[in-house]
């Protein structure tokens, strides 16, 4: 599939801020709004952005309507999600993918928004951006800077993905002595696992998979990657990128001997001869590099090189 790309954002563009899943903390919105304003964007807020219906930002209809209204407005050039949490799955059937196909826009988010990015790729072939949420409350300036570069097309190709100064040593496990080139797909592992058996599951031609998660015990990480394998998701995976598995540690009430998450992933991938690069700065962490879903990259033991811009140049 040749991917669809939205136009690069530029100062003066109008962008939307919506909550397709759980409601954001209003205090945490300040940093995201500041970032969008400093980029020179005008902001349109979703009507139900701050509404709370239990753990959801309004009803399914309200959240879908907010998203679809931004899709249908030709003046809106990008849509930024405020928070993940839970709820994106409940509105997938209501998203107006046809309108997005006819007028591609920049879409940004991660965590529960993994489901939206995957569905958008499946339905529209559009590259979305697995990147900072606008109400995360702990996003680093480094993360915002890299998000801005991706959505405005301000990268020089080939683009070697940068690492923040405080990044832990990258861990490479594998025998490949040459880089693997392919398109990226992935996101939050627990959300990807829920896609299996749905119309929006990963297609088997995915060659480079990126994974991250938060708050999942190692045995659950094992269960989810095994579930994906049984569903056929690893048939064409040639390389795996591991981001931050934040607080993915053994439960305090579990006395069973257990390996840590890095060992679980290492054992799984090496037994299937899939190279694995761990400790990359993306996921539920202050340093959350923006990954274009569907982007052509080259992955190897020392890092990742992006081979294309994932937005179209403005005329």
Nearest to 191 by CA among 167, 217, 214: 214
Catalytic residue among 31, 111, 143, 193: 111
Question: What is the rounded distance in angstroms from the CA atom of residue 180 to the CA atom of residue 281?
Answer: 20
Tell me the C-alpha distance between 194 and 119, whole Å: 12
Residue 167 gets the label, from left (phi > 0), alpha (psi -120 to 50) or beta, of beta
H-assigned helices in the chain? 29-38, 60-72, 97-102, 114-124, 141-152, 189-195, 218-230, 261-270
Q: What is d(CA 24, CA 41) in angstroms, rounded to the nearest whole number?
A: 20
Active site residue 111: yes
Cβ atoms of 181 and 307 closer than 8 Å? yes
CA 114/CA 191 separation, integer angstroms: 7
**Of 284, 285, 298, 309, which one is the catalytic site residue?**
284
Q: Which of 88, 130, 212, 298 is catalytic?
A: 212
Q: Across-strand partners of 10? A: none
List Cβ neighbours of 177 (8 Å cut-off, separation of 6 or more).
none
Q: How far is CA 216 from CA 77, 181, 182, in A?
A: 35, 30, 28
Catalytic residues: 111, 212, 284
């Amino acid at each position: 599939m040749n991917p669809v790309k939205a136009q690069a954002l530029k100062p003066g563009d109008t962008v939307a801020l919506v909550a397709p899943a759980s409601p954001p903390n209003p205090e945490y919105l300040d940093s995201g709004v500041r970032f969008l304003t400093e980029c020179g964007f005008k902001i349109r807020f979703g009507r139900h952005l701050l509404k709370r219906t239990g753990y959801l930002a309004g009803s399914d209809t309200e959240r879908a309507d907010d998203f679809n209204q931004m899709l249908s407005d030709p003046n809106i050039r990008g849509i930024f999600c405020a928070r993940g949490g839970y709820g994106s799955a409940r509105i997938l059937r209501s998203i107006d993918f046809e309108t997005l196909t006819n007028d591609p826009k920049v879409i940004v988010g991660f965590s529960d928004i993994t489901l939206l990015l995957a569905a958008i790729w499946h339905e529209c072939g559009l590259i979305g951006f697995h990147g900072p949420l606008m109400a995360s409350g702990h996003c680093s300036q480094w993360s915002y800077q890299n998000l801005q570069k991706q959505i405005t097309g301000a990268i020089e190709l080939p683009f070697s993905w940068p690492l923040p100064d405080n990044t832990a040593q990258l861990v490479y496990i594998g025998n490949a002595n040459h880089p693997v080139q392919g398109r990226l797909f992935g996101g939050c592992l627990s959300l990807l696992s829920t896609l299996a058996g749905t119309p929006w599951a990963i297609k088997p031609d995915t060659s480079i998979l990126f994974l991250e998660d938060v708050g999942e015990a190692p045995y659950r990480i094992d269960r989810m990657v095994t579930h994906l394998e049984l569903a056929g998701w690893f048939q064409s995976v040639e390389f795996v990128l591991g981001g931050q598995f934040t607080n993915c540690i053994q439960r305090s009430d579990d006395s069973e001997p257990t390996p840590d998450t890095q060992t679980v992933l290492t054992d799984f991938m090496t037994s299937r001869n899939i190279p694995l690069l761990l400790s990359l700065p993306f996921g539920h962490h202050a340093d959350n590099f923006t990954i274009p879903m569907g982007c052509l990259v080259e992955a190897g033991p020392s890092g990742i090189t992006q081979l294309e811009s994932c937005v179209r140049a403005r005329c």
